[in-house]
Amino acid sequence: MTGVTTAAAEPAEPQPDAPTEAGTEAGTAKPRRARGEQTRQLILETALRLFRERGYAETTMRVIAKEAGVAVGNAYYYFDSKEHLIQGFYDRNQAAHHAAAGPILATEKELAPRLRGVLHAGIDVNAPYHSFAATFFKTAAEPTSPLSPFSRESAPAREAAIAIFREVVDGSTAKLDPELRKELPELLWLGWMGVVLFWVYDKSPGQRRTRRLIDGAVPLIDRLVSLSRLRVLRPALRQVLALIETVRKDD
């Protein structure tokens, strides 16, 4: 849970401003008025609830506004577009994934189970939103969208996600090539994006095919990572790393 969640049972309390301005929230300035933040949260909560209840496309901005008891234009004062409401969902699930991964990362020390646990935790967290996620995935896929996982706007969220996989690697007992170790977290995150992609398309009951994919792919990755220390595979590994380097240039 982030500290932002609750829909505030308390009326705006004399909490005028924290000792430090500590406005680590998304971008915009953080003046002393808390009233706006309350409205913002109200709109976001309402929107996410409606998305879950009736789906993204079926939830109109007018309904969100009406249900939240504000004018439609007010929603646009806080969120640039309907899509931007999704960012809230995004951030929240990101945090939930991190929290859910905690226990496994604290317990397990071997690479494979760590990775497996983190991946399953990610699916667990997202499971309740599978049908909704499918529709909103569409907007996230648009390259020009700020919601794209590769966009500059979602860089913080992306970094946070990669950090989870860095913890998977760094906290493990696995011995691996130092250069590979450096790149592995991002590669694993990329793999995770692939799993999510697969999951979004997975129509099997309970998305069990995705579970099977994870269970099958993790040992494979584990094996490949181990094999990468073999002499025969050294040039191939170098080739992979060089490719990553080359492709990454001028972005």
Report the site for a second copy in 183-212 (rule: CB under 8 A).
200-201, 203-204, 209, 212
Query: Is residue 139 involved in binding a second copy (CB under 8 A)?
Result: yes
Maximum pairwise Cα distance, the chain: 67
Q: Identify the H or E element spanning 145.
A: none
Residues 117 and 104 sit within 8 Å (Cβ to Cβ) = yes
Q: Where are the alpha helices (DSSP H) in 12-83?
A: 35-54, 61-68, 72-78
Query: Is residue 152 involved in binding a second copy (CB under 8 A)?
Result: no
Q: Which of 4, 8, 61, 162 binds DNA (CB under 7 A)?
A: 61
Query: Is residue 134 involved in binding DNA (CB under 7 A)?
Result: no
Q: Which of 9, 22, 29, 106 binds DNA (CB under 7 A)?
A: 29
φ, ψ for residue 151, nearest 5 deg: -70, 160
Beta carbon of residue 135, minimum distance to a second copy (angstroms, whole number):
7
Query: Is residue 246 involved in binding a second copy (CB under 8 A)?
Result: yes
163 vs 57, 94, 189, 206, CA distance in Å?
Answer: 32, 11, 9, 28
Contact range with a second copy by CB under 8 A, out of 21-29, 71-79, 105-113, 130-138: 130-138
Query: Is residue 20 involved in binding a second copy (CB under 8 A)?
Result: no
Residues 100 and 124 sit within 8 Å (Cβ to Cβ) = yes
Site string for DNA, 36-55 (x = CB under 7 A): xx-x----------------
Q: Which residues 6+ apart lie within 8 Å of 226 measured at CB?
A: 174
Contact range with DNA by CB under 7 A, out of 78-86, 148-156, 162-170, 203-211: 78-86
Closer CB to DNA, 24 or 246, in the complex: 24
Beta carbon of residue 84, minimum distance to a second copy (angstroms, whole number):
15
d(CA 16, CA 50): 31
181 vs 41, 174, 216, 224, 236, CA distance in Å?
Answer: 40, 10, 22, 13, 16
Binding region for a second copy (CB under 8 A): 134-135, 137-139, 141-145, 148, 150, 200-201, 203-204, 209, 212-213, 216-217, 219-220, 223-224, 227, 230, 232-233, 235-236, 239-240, 242-243, 246-247, 249-251
